[in-house]
Amino acid sequence: MKKIFILAVAIIMFPIVNNAFFSKTLLAKNQPNFQVVIEIDEPIAFWNDETIVLSEEKTAVPKLIDGQTFVPISLIEEVFQFDVSRPEQTVNIEYNNEKITYSLDNDKAIINGEEISLASVPMIYQGIIYIPLRQTMDLMKCNTYYYDGIILVDSQNIEPTEEDIKKYIVKFAETSLGIKLANGSLNRWQLASNLVDKVLSFHHMPSKNINIGKFKDEILIPEEARKQSKYAIAWQLLNLDAENSFRPFKKIEKAELKGVFDKFSILLDSKPGEYETVSLDENCSSKIKNDLLPILSDAAKNSNLNYFISIYDFATNTHIDFNGNSPFYPASLIKTLYLYTYLEQVENGVLTLDKTHTLSQTDKYASGTKVTGTGSLQYQKNGTKHSYKDLLSLMTSISDNVAANIIMDTIGADCINETAKKYGMDNTRVNRKFYEVASPLSPNSTTARDLNKPLILLENRYVKDSFAQLGIGFMEKTVNKNRIGRSLPETIKIANKTGTISRLGGDMALIYYPDREPIAISMVFERKPSRGFNAGQMELEIGRLAKKIVDYFGQHKNPDLFINGEKIQENIKLRYIEDIPHINITGIDRLSNLDKNKAVIINGNEYCSLPDIREQSGYGFDIVKGSFVHLYSLY
């Protein structure tokens, strides 16, 4: 059982006496008249105004479980001063000639020798025996009063006044924050968050976004405390410094804390004024969409072609679609799905890259139709041997149709379609080989949004890094760079796959910047009814619009990394994998304690998710408009 010690004076006024263990001789056992005050999740209690610290860690503390207050049995014994014994699987409690016998996880109890039914059942919670507080106090003929997490138990059934409640709000805040102060772990944003929430709750004021004017470092305040910090400034609980900075991670000093509590008490006595409210800033994803959609719309409006476009930004997890879910025949663009599916089957041990295929006459036909179009295998001699790695390269880099059909036969259409379905490509269906015009099956179909998915799967390493790099490398070697890549500067690298038939053409690409995470673009342009199709015009329009898209994202660099308000690294790589934000932690000493087995490896860099960093290192996180990532200590 954890020891309990007593503080005879307010913690912020005098230092804590370490190891001052609680002595039962200090408090009269079975005191006829007592008042105990506790707070949910706080390791502090007050017995007849004496301050008792239950533990410096939040372990055996009052808990709200399924809407009811439960307390550890040690608190009943040491704070309430009731007689407690613990025969196996039972708890006996005695006070003032009343005796309860609880059985753990049993809805019956014995009160003064008579069996009764219980509304709430004692339990083992996190390895500690917890009993229901109100029920226990009712059986002991004591009264229990509740006020926003503060619970007062009085043996004389004297209902607390508003002044009593205010007094204990201040005492709990002084004591809990005083402990943090003594440990050197109390900073300005934590103080603002704690005290402002208590004032808002006491006066039943809604928590709003308030407009008090900009100050230098407001964006570095953790998101959950940003509103409270602005209230703290407006109410003059805390002040900006001479440089107009809040300094949210500056440690509070004892003299400053005393002045803050003087103002805090005044705010409880007199309800503070209301302030002008402001709406939340538009989030980054909405801004990107609002910026880009008019550009796409204007380009499509002035064209003789129908546009099908999907864009994905790895840095903000933003999808922008223009006719992105409208179906069309995918032509050779579907080969990226073949490529990804094959690599996944290799990773699963079903297929290999080194196995050799011997070219035959059968490979050069699809249901009786000669396979022509792009590629070189149609001209090679039967009996020529190629590894499947070479076939994947030919299918991708020069869009070889014979190679694509061999790959499809090897994987199977069902496997390709199952992969598409697994990853949410709900509008994609592969039925036919290339040039299988005599097939009774429906033609292949997809959408721009679905086409983008294999690019995202490869770049976010849904297959391991070496396989993903291999597939992207094939696309980097794609011969035709005259569409998305035609007007891009040399500093921008692309990995792409083109597709063309008589009525439409398109390109899909991963776009790599030197100073931000990549984007993925799929663009398909189709002739409008009663209009001709000009491949040159299609390529020109794709190139012109792609340049605008690439330039737009190029304005938004990688964010900077801050830890506890201190800039640690500029240009940190941030991307979303399975909709979860990850950052590149390679070379960041402050994060060297992380479990690297959970990292996603991308080109040799370790990307760890921010939730994993929070779990393993105790850091909360903010991502602010893509401009920085901020990690801050939660404890």
Domains assigned to the chain: 5-160 (3.30.457.10), 186-269 (no CATH), 287-554 (3.40.710.10), 560-633 (no CATH)
- Which whole number is the average pLDDT over 387-410? 98
What was the pLDDT predicted at 278? Answer: 65
What was the pLDDT predicted at 55? Answer: 64
- Which whole number is the average pLDDT over 504-520? 96
**Mean pLDDT score of the chain, rounded to an integer?**
89
HEC sequence for 531-543: CCCCHHHHHHHHH
What was the pLDDT predicted at 88? Answer: 84
Tell me the range of 72-81, 278-287, 361-370 where mean pLDDT is highest. Answer: 361-370
Region of poorest pLDDT, from 5-9, 382-386, 511-515, 537-541: 5-9
Q: 465-503 burial by CB neighbour count: b if 16+ within 10 A, else e?
A: eebbbbbbebbbebebbebbbbbbeeebebbbbbbbeee
What was the pLDDT predicted at 22? Answer: 37
- Which whole number is the average pLDDT over 313-338? 96
357-362, long-range: CB < 8 A, 24+ apart: 357/385, 357/386, 357/387, 357/388, 357/391, 357/406, 357/410, 358/383, 358/384, 358/385, 359/383, 359/384, 359/385, 359/386, 359/402
What was the pLDDT predicted at 433? Answer: 96
> Over 50: is that where the pLDDT of 10 sits?
no
In the chain, the percentage of residues whose pLDDT exceeds 90 is 71
> Over 60: is that where the pLDDT of 390 sits?
yes
Strands 318-322 and 580-584: unpaired
- Which whole number is the average pLDDT over 421-432? 96
111-122 pLDDT, tens digit per residue, is 999 999 999 999
66-108 pLDDT, tens digit per residue, is 889 999 998 998 899 899 998 888 999 999 889 999 998 899 9
Contact between 137 and 144 (Cβ < 8 Å):
yes
pLDDT band at 15 (very low <50, low <70, confident <90, very high): very low
- The C-alpha angle 563, 193, 243, rounded to 5 degrees, equals 60
- Which whole number is the average pLDDT over 404-429? 97
What was the pLDDT predicted at 105? Answer: 85
> Over 80: is that where the pLDDT of 24 sits?
no
Burial (Cβ within 10 Å: 0-12, 13-18, ≥19) of residue 72: buried
